[in-house]
Structure 1
Amino acid sequence: MASSRQQLVELLQQGVISPEHVADAEQLANVAPNKEQWQQFVNTVLLWIACISLSCAIVFFFAYNWSQMGRFLKFALVEFSLISTTLIYLKTPANNLVRVATLTLSCLLVGALMALFGQTYQTGADPWQLFFNWALIITPWALVARNSIIWLLWFVLLNITLVLYCDVHRNPFFIMFNTKVNTLWLTFAFNLASFSVWQFFSASQSWMQKSWLMRMLATLAGVSITGLAIEAVYKLDVINLLALVLWLISLVSMYYCYRIKKVDLFMLAGGCLSIIAVFIVWMEKQLGSFDNILNYIILAFFVLGLGIASAVWLKKVQREIKHEC
């Protein structure tokens, strides 16, 4: 069903509502946010800014006063902050935004504690271990909190872990051939698996049904497989041919799931962007040298043409959704 805003826009376009009655129509349709909604929005934004600022302030405080502070004082300050935020989380009623924000702050402080421990005792030279251990420690909190924001942090940490791990280990698990391709394959496999598992369990768990996290995971997987397809354009061998086939399968699957089965314009726009990126790289390879300004002009026209075609198609899909509603 179309939203109140969409219905109001359609009535205005059809001339049903005269211009002098637009303000009254907006008030009746409750389109414009009222005072309480604005206050709630501002409070939410300020709360998250405060949490992020506080976690950054603690890190910068240690960085600036590192030589003047003893190790026990450093650990005491971080642990006191971590315990304080955890206690606030436990004392805050359920389904409260402050509860989620304080637990997120606790998860960020765990990262500060891990960094402090590694810097103080020089536990290892591999930076991927910091992010892996960070994600490992906050896993119980993510399971208990059942919150998408904390899970997003968990997914980001593991993605960073994979990237840094491939940077240290040139051939992890004896797959593929170079660090760049290894990173793309691993991040694609991890994010695709995460997206599939999240999609499966979201059918029975209401807190997992927020579309923005699934879109983030799909974006991470899409960036990886698009990078592999671009790599295949430059060098088409057996492994890259497999990547190109997987890219095509991903596009077909995405079209079936988010155009035929259920419409999601964000996913469709991501697929269009992936196609444009790969096609433009292929065109750049076909044009060869860019010493001639004409090649730049040709490539620019292709970018504009594909972008316009994608926008027209997405607009058409959007209109079809409105008619179905």
Structure 2
Amino acid sequence: MNHPPSQQDWYRFVRILLLTLGIGFTVAGIIFFFAYNWDALPKLAKLSITGGLLIATTLLSLRPQFDPLIRNILLTASAALVAVLFAVYGQIYQTGANAYDFFLAWTVFISIWVLAANFPPLWVLYLLLINTTILLYADQVANHWSDKLVFTILFLVNLVALIVSKVLLKAGKTIPTWFTNLVALAAISFSTLGIIIGIFGNKEFDFWLLVLLAALAYATGIWYGFKQHSLFYLSIIPLSLIILITTWILRISDDSGGFLLASFFIIGSATVTIKYLLDLQKKWAHEQHGN
């Protein structure tokens, strides 16, 4: 069973929160500084200030005198400043690049930092950039891609990230639970959205491919949830299934009867799922205390 956080845990949480907010507000202040004084600053000053801050933040993150957590947070701030530098450069010289080019370059240029730091919040930023790049590429370049194909790709990207994190965790690497849960939630969200679009659209190959991949992933997730006594996977997967079945009910019957049936299904399925999960939690707690 999980124990309530101790005073030391709260102290560490508040310390990290305040430090993160301080650095985050500093980066935001730099962005607003350029936005407000853009016309008044010469080109050289714009690039020098941004580049100087980026170099200074990166060098501070390399100082061994600092706590490793502080160094990683500073490196995350440096990763954000890379985007500021690219944005300033693009605005000065009007490169005319697509939005996906900006996010792709941002992703590529911080890849070494992400791998070297192995800092979960920085990995979250990295995955967010990858997902954003794919979405913008599909919107601006690959216009022939269907929405179902795009969500299938996003689902696979996050699913692979989840599998890799689980393998590393099993190999002894320290990976926080919140990170794997966040990646799993992103993967299931993309699969759910893609299947919903397919239910209301054409049932083409990419739709059935997504359904097949999602079915395999969901079955594996249910198995993993029972094996590891993880209520998280046993909660989000049934939630996704409830949403998909409700969508299918509304698709085949969009009149008042369909809405009534969907309402009853949501209430009934949610009640049964919650009751089962509560009983399962009590059973696992009893087994743990018995051991």
Fold in common (TM above 0.5): yes
Shift of 1:295: 4.7
Distance in 2, Cα, partners of 1:53 & 1:307: 40
What whole-Å deviation, never above 9, does each CA across 1:90-145 have from its counterpart, x for those lacking one? 22436532212111111111111111112222223310111111111111111211
| 1:8-23 to 2 correspondences below 5 Å | none
The 5 Å alignment of 1:1-325 reads 2-5=1-4, 33-34=6-7, 37-93=9-65, 95-171=67-143, 178-207=145-174, 209-234=175-200, 235-259=202-226, 261-289=227-255, 292=256, 295-325=258-288
Residue 318 of structure 1 deviates from its aligned partner by: 1.1
Please name the residue that 1:174 is paired with. none
- Across the two proteins, how many residue pairs are aligned to each other? 287
**8 Å contact kept, 1:92–1:98:** no
Cα 1:302–1:59, aligned 2, differ >3 Å: closer, same or farther?
A: same
Structure 2: distance between partners of 1:267 and 1:128? 32
Contact 1:48 1:101 in 2 (8 A): yes
Please report the TM-score for the alignment, with normalisation by the length of structure 1.
Answer: 0.81
Aligned counterpart, 1:8: none
SS where residue 111 of structure 1 aligns?
A: helix
Helix, strand or coil for the counterpart of 2:137? helix
Cα deviation for residue 169 of structure 1 reads 2.1
- Relative to structure 1, the CA distance from residue 237 to residue 137 in structure 2 (aligned partners, 3 Å threshold; closer, same or farther) is closer
Distance 2:102 2:172 in 1: 31
CA deviation vs aligned residue, 1:120-174 (integer Å, no higher than 9, x gap): 2222331011111111111111121121111111111111000000001235xxx
Q: Deviations over 1:190-233 (max 9, x none)?
A: 112222222223333523x3222222221221112112222332
- TM-score normalised by L of structure 2: 0.90
- Cα displacement string for residues 241-267 of structure 1 (whole angstroms, at most 9, x for unaligned residues): 2322222222211111221x2221112
Aligned counterparts of 1:38 and 1:249: Cα–Cα separation in 2:
39
Secondary structure at the counterpart of residue 123 of structure 1:
coil
Note the residue ranges of structure 2 that are not aligned, 5 or more in a row: none
Which AA in structure 1 matches 2:104? F
In the alignment, is the contact (CA less than 8 A) between 2:149 and 2:207 conserved in 1? no
For 1:80, the aligned partner's letter is: G
Q: 1:18 corresponds to which residue?
A: none
Deviations 1:25-58 (A, max 9, x none): xxxxxx6x43x55444322211111111111111
- SS in structure 1 opposite 2:209? helix
CA contact (8 A) 1:191 1:217 kept: yes
C-alpha RMSD over aligned residues: 2.1
